[in-house]
Amino acid sequence: LSKIIEKFFVSPTLFRVVRLARIGRILRLIKGAKGIRTLLFALMMSLPALFNIGLLLFLVMFIYAIFGMSQFAYVKREAGIDDMFNFETFANSMICLFQITTSGGWNYLLYPSLNKEPDCDPKKVHPGSSVLGDCGNPSVGIF
């Protein structure tokens, strides 16, 4: 039954969210929950503004993801740059930018972008691309 509901209707996770919203109805009946009701009302009133802020954050991250792909797509894999956290694809760039935005290990993404010639190969050929080398760009990396 759950597979049929998930396939033709909505996922069970959405049902769980709706059930949580039903708890909010109960709070209207409880007189001691006035503070929680006030907080929930303030949250509901701020949702449109939060959507706008989230959209602006996505736009800025979109621009920097494309910029990161153009500058750091072929940086040597070391420290925090690996198969998942790199700037080779747009999705991976967004993951890296989310990591930087949350300040979780951003320094491990910075170290490879600061590589200079003794630590990297400036003449390395990347198949399918005209870009040479796997060195970082320190001036852009700090920015």
Q: How far is it, in rounded angstroms, from Cα 46 to Cα 51?
A: 9
Write the burial class of residue 65 (CB in 10 Å: 0-12 exposed, 13-18 middle, 19+ buried).
Answer: buried
Query: pTM, whole model, 2 decimals?
Result: 0.66
Give 111's contacts (C-beta < 8 A, 6+ positions apart). 78, 79, 80
Q: How many helices (H) and strands (E) does the chain have?
A: 6, 0
Confidence category of residue 59, pLDDT binned at 50, 70, 90: very high
Residue 113 to residue 98: CA distance in whole angstroms = 17
DSSP β-bridge partners for residue 125: 132
| Domain boundaries, position 128 | 1-142
Domain count, the chain: 1
Listed range (14-18, 47-51, 92-96) with the worst mean pLDDT: 14-18
What are 115-124's pLDDT values in tens digits?
A: 878 878 888 8
Provide the pLDDT for residue 9: 66
Per residue in 62-94, pLDDT tens?
999 999 888 888 888 887 888 888 888 999 999
Residue 37 CA to residue 106 CA, distance in Å, equals 38
CA dist., res. 52 & res. 4, Å (int): 35
CB atoms within 10 A of CB 15: 12
